[in-house]
Amino acid sequence: MTDDDELSLSDLYDAIESVGRPHLTAAELSRKTDLTTERAREELERLADLEEVARQDVTSADAVWYPTDLDAVTDRERVVLFPDRREVVVQHADQFTRAQLSQFAHLVDTNRSGGAIYEMREEDIWQAPYDSLEDLIATMRDVFGERSPHLEEWVTSQWERARKFRLYTHEDGYTVLAAESDDLMGNVARQKLDDDALRAPISDSESWVNEEKTAQVKRTLYDAGYPVRDERELDEGEDLDLELRLTLRDYQADWVQRFVEQGSGVFVGPPGSGKTVAAMGAMEAVGGETLILVPSRELASQWHDELILHTDLEESHIGEYHGGTKEIRPVTIATYRTAGMDRHRKLFDERRWGLIVYDEVHHVPADVYRRSADLQGKHRLGLTATPTRESDDEEEIFTLVGPPIGTDWSALFEAGFVQEPEVNIRLVPWGDDSEADEYVSAVGHGRRQAAADNSAKIDEIRFLLEEHPAAKALVFVEYLDQGEAISEALDVPFISGEMPHARREKLFDEFRRSERDALVVSRVGDEGIDLPDAELAIIASGLGGSRRQGAQRAGRTMRPVGDALLYVLATRGTEEEDFVRRQMRHLASKGIRVTESESEVGDVRESTLEDGDADSDTSGGSGTVD
């Protein structure tokens, strides 16, 4: 800036940040802004007249100036880029910045003071949800506030690398792998893939692909650092006349359009964003008989009901195939486990499916579910809020099913389609010394269970429920004993996998109809169950730091109605603290703010114990004197 410019408060904050302490002198401001010392002093005095800065005279030194609102300096968003390491360090990032970063960077770590470290990996650029390289780089510049030629050169190279190979359908009907150059085909594809995958060369840059080995081709080249674009002209299968009875939201229509153009893909969006409805839009667009794969019978029933409600399909068009019933119809809903079994597999293979929908697609990499990915579907659509897997093999999802579509959660929050939850990690003290002693003496799984079963959590849950009396609440547990203890203490039903299916459905229906305002739920509530009006979720114990489960449970509160609250309880000073932070890290990587606090009930309990001990000592002393 020049001497003719007026110093803004933002300019002052920048200068203070550059100095590295929350105050500065007029001379220091001069050096950081290119103002003369006299002009800098005049501007500071002007801001002082506006009561935006204050002055402190220091003996034998120039006066120091500091903002009257020091929190505005200490809590100010900072984004620092280290282009050589491809790392981004952020402090106090707002929702929009975190959501932008989640589009092209991987969250590595966070701390309690609002800081986070992001890393830009090859796969983050390959899978960035942008239509063009220019759009991706524009977002990066917006986040960093500057251009980084070195980093942008690397991003460009990775963007282009993800477009070196493609699969397409030859005019004679067979599948071809095409490389951008002869060298890539000869030195990469033909070196990495055997004759069973690439049956014969067509030209120096093209090869005939064994149709049954397309998934292997894509995975092998992905591992070699070359994602493959799948541009095959896919068979629609038998016709299915389906009409959607509602209008898709703009972003849902965009998902469907991108899916139709690609022929495959995974809708990635928070619970409540309408992935199921968007999938019905894809069914309408494809117009072919559809197989829908789900992880549970509960989700199969839910899909059946949603199809009847939102499409013109009749009951006779929809079949379910699982342990409860076995019907194959133009639209068939089956569980992953059943579809992967040899004795049922032939029935699914005989049908020409125009579309296979993989709901909760993060299950696909698991061995028992993976077999379903080989079914003869021509279009493949995955649905998930949480592609992250603890085995770090989420790339399997995108090679077996398709690339991600629609991963920008921020836009959904801002448009009001999804309520951003308030997520708070609540640290709870031990209920009594004996429980703490049991934890210290335990090892491995026993130590984790001891921290999870901390009886003080029951008081904390009771306190949170009383703090939010109007909220419909879900309390999640990992251990059956803990669920039963909470259920008994709070007089709230406990739903677990041991409960008969009919009884579970009855309780869930009562919750949906607001006939019940609280439930204690085991792992059966993590996915596949529609609980749309849960404004409050309390995680009393989790799966040892599963990022996916943390996001699934948070998702139970992500709905476009009212305020959404998620409390994650962890016993203070135990390994459980690290577990729940890992659970929540995936949510933070999606742009959701996660805070941490001490248990208020715990403070009251400790204060009461101290007072009680004092009273006891006084009483005992008095008794002795008497």
320-364 residue pLDDT tens:
988 767 888 999 998 888 876 766 666 766 677 888 898 888 666
Per-residue pLDDT at 412: 67
Question: Above 70 in pLDDT, residue 128?
Answer: yes
Q: Are residues 119 and 197 in the same domain?
A: no
Mean of pLDDT values over 228-241? 76
Strand 518-521 versus strand 594-598 pairing type: unpaired
Global pTM? 0.54
How far, in Å, CA of 105 to CA of 89, rounded?
11
Q: Are residues 256 and 372 in the same domain?
A: yes
Structural domain includes residue 245: no
Question: Above 90 in pLDDT, residue 533?
Answer: no
Question: Above 80 in pLDDT, residue 113?
Answer: no
Structural domain includes residue 617: no
Q: Are residues 307 and 400 in the same domain?
A: yes
Report the 3 state secondary structure along 213-249. Answer: HHHHHHHHHHHCCCCEEEECCCCCCCECCCCECCCCC
Question: Above 60 in pLDDT, residue 548?
Answer: no
Q: Are residues 68 and 205 in the same domain?
A: no
Per-residue pLDDT at 526: 46
For residue 473, give its domain range: 422-607
Strand 377-384 versus strand 353-359 pairing type: parallel
Helical ranges in 401-531 per DSSP H: 409-414, 433-441, 444-452, 456-467, 480-490, 501-512
Using one digit for the tens of pLDDT, what is the confidence trace for 432-476? 899 999 999 988 888 888 998 999 999 999 999 998 888 888 898
Amino acid making up residue 214: T
CB 299 within 8 A of CB 529: yes
Residue 18: CB atoms within 10 A of its CB come to 13
Question: Above 90 in pLDDT, residue 186?
Answer: yes
Q: Are residues 270 and 405 in the same domain?
A: yes
Q: Are residues 388 and 443 in the same domain?
A: no
Question: Above 90 in pLDDT, residue 487?
Answer: yes
Q: Which residues have CB under 8 Å from 275's CB, separation 6+?
A: 267, 269, 383, 384, 385
Cα torsion at 577, 86, 156, 146 (round to 10°)?
Answer: 100
Structural domain includes residue 237: no
Q: Are residues 190 and 134 in the same domain?
A: no
Of the listed ranges 16-25, 102-111, 245-254, 368-377, the one predicted with least confidence:
368-377
Per-residue pLDDT at 566: 82
Q: Are residues 601 and 483 in the same domain?
A: yes
> Which of 602, 603, 555, 598 has the alpha carbon at shortest distance from 425?
598
Q: Are residues 573 and 530 in the same domain?
A: yes
Per-residue pLDDT at 61: 57
Using one digit for the tens of pLDDT, what is the confidence trace for 83-98? 888 998 887 777 678 7
Question: Above 90 in pLDDT, residue 550?
Answer: no
Q: Is 209 helix (H, G, I), strand (E, B) or coil?
A: strand
Of the listed ranges 27-31, 41-45, 152-156, 417-421, the one predicted with least confidence:
417-421
Q: Taking the mean position of all CA atoms in its chain, how far away is CA 165?
A: 29
Q: Are residues 153 and 215 in the same domain?
A: no
Q: Is 82 helix (H, G, I), strand (E, B) or coil?
A: strand
Q: Is 482 helix (H, G, I), strand (E, B) or coil?
A: helix
Using one digit for the tens of pLDDT, what is the confidence trace for 493-531? 998 878 887 888 888 888 888 889 999 988 654 444 444
How far, in Å, CA of 441 to CA of 68, rounded?
51
Q: Are residues 33 and 141 in the same domain?
A: no
Using one digit for the tens of pLDDT, what is the confidence trace for 95-104? 678 778 877 8
Q: Domain total for the chain? A: 5
How far, in Å, CA of 333 to CA of 338, rounded?
11
Question: Above 70 in pLDDT, residue 60?
Answer: no
β-strand partners of 117: 89, 109
Q: Are residues 390 and 488 in the same domain?
A: no
